[in-house]
Structure 1
Amino acid sequence: MSVRVQVLEQALQALRQAASRLRATHGDLTAHFPLTSARLNAMSQIDQERLDALAVRYARCQDLLAPAMRALARAQLEPKADASFLVLHALMQKQGIVATTADWERQRSLRNAVGHEYPEAETIADLLNGIQAEIPAILSMVERLSQVASALIAEHR
């Protein structure tokens, strides 16, 4: 197996693990959505911590998608694999792995927001509602990337 395929396999394993954790946390918390600042303030400390875990797991999963996409393009021997992210995104879009650039930018913006401190419950609720709305799309991208990558890895065994 080539080094490129091995790197893809490692990236895919990390991404699948992150997606599995995100899926589990999301499933446990769906009854709390949509959030409002009042609902958020009334939640137990444990549920608030679980919401924090949801945000962190979303960010991690979203963050691992780009390197996994690049690893896939490299394993496919795509000559543009190391080009700009917009070129990489277009390659993945052609394969049906990702949706529009605007969708990706929205998902990335939410990921970036996770690292900031927001004192207002309303802002936190809005962020978490946005994350909750994007989780199905993120998990769907992981699944599509996983299918394409798994087929490629199987070919090289």
Structure 2
Amino acid sequence: MTKEQSILASNLQACSQRIENLRYSLQKNTALFPLTPARLASLTEVQEESIDALILRYSQCVSMMQDQLFRGIAYLEQEDISGYLQRKGLVTIDSEKSAKGSLKN
């Protein structure tokens, strides 16, 4: 296994652990959804913190997949990340141009 493959495997394991944390938060909050205006107004502080943890864990998983897994795979395939994502159908040309435009601003 190359150094790059080892790093990707380690990142995949770390992502898997974050997904388990996300799964826990999803199970913990299942009874609260769908959130209605009435239910939202009656949430306890503990329930609000639990939903905040769910949102944070989701965000962490998405970031880790983008920043470490997709980039690692693209690196192993010796391809730039935008080309890789486009080839895999994960972004379209229009969304890629929009992302590049927002990066310039």
Q: Is the radius of gyration larger for structure 1 or structure 2?
A: 2
- Aligned partner letter, 2:78: P
Q: Deviations over 1:1-39 (max 9, x none)?
A: 211111101210111111110011101211211112331
Identity across the alignment (%)? 29
Q: Does 1:21 align with 2:11?
A: no
Label 1:86 to 1:74 Cα distance change in 2 as closer, same or farther (>3 A).
closer
- Once residues 19 and 49 of structure 1 are traced to their aligned partners in structure 2, the CA distance between those partners, rounded to angstroms, is 19
Q: Give the RMSD, CA atoms, in angstroms.
A: 1.9
Instruction: Provide structure 2 residue ranges, at least 5 long, that are not aligned to the other structure.
Output: 96-105
> With CA pairs under 8 Å and 6+ residues apart, which has the higher RCO, 1 or 2?
1
Instruction: Compute the TM-score of the two structures, normalised by the length of structure 1.
Output: 0.53
Count of aligned positions: 92
Label 1:89 to 1:100 Cα distance change in 2 as closer, same or farther (>3 A).
closer
Q: Residue 101 of structure 1 corresponds to which residue in structure 2?
A: 91
Instruction: Compute the TM-score of the two structures, normalised by the length of structure 2.
Output: 0.76
Q: CA deviation at 1:55?
A: 0.4
- Once residues 101 and 31 of structure 1 are traced to their aligned partners in structure 2, the CA distance between those partners, rounded to angstroms, is 33
- Once residues 48 and 36 of structure 2 are traced to their aligned partners in structure 1, the CA distance between those partners, rounded to angstroms, is 13
Q: Residue 132 of structure 1 corresponds to which residue in structure 2?
A: none
Q: CA deviation at 1:90?
A: 2.5
**Runs of 4+ displaced beyond 6 Å:** none
Q: Residue 53 of structure 1 corresponds to which residue in structure 2?
A: 53
Q: Residue 78 of structure 2 corresponds to which residue in structure 1?
A: 79
- Once residues 47 and 41 of structure 1 are traced to their aligned partners in structure 2, the CA distance between those partners, rounded to angstroms, is 11
- Once residues 45 and 33 of structure 1 are traced to their aligned partners in structure 2, the CA distance between those partners, rounded to angstroms, is 16
